Amino acid sequence: MAVPAVPASFLVHLADGRTWSGVQFIPGGFVCVHTPDDPGGICTIATSTDDLLADRAPGHPLHGARVEWAD
């Protein structure tokens, strides 16, 4: 049986100074970001960190955000 990959954690630094936590479950795979301010849910899921940040309109919390991977 194959050993599963260890999840990789990262931070999303929002343009307004807040920080959200995220994890990537498979290298190069989908990500989940804890979004505590979202009244509709507790996390945002995307196919990659690039897709998470892509095409965010001004005013959206992820507009201008950057990802910092944990060591």
pTM to 2 decimal places: 0.85
Would you state the pLDDT for residue 47?
94
pLDDT per residue as tens digits for the range 36-69: 877 777 899 999 999 999 999 999 999 999 999 9
Q: What is the residue whose two structure tokens read 């936590």?
A: 21
Torsion sign across C-alpha atoms 44, 49, 51, 57: positive
> 43 pairs with which residues across the strands?
34
**Domain-by-domain residue ranges, the chain?**
8-69
> DSSP strand E in the chain: where?
8-13, 19-24, 31-34, 43-46, 66-69
Asked if 49 contacts 31 with a C-beta cutoff of 8 angstroms, the reply is yes
Q: What is the mean pLDDT of residues 11-19?
A: 96
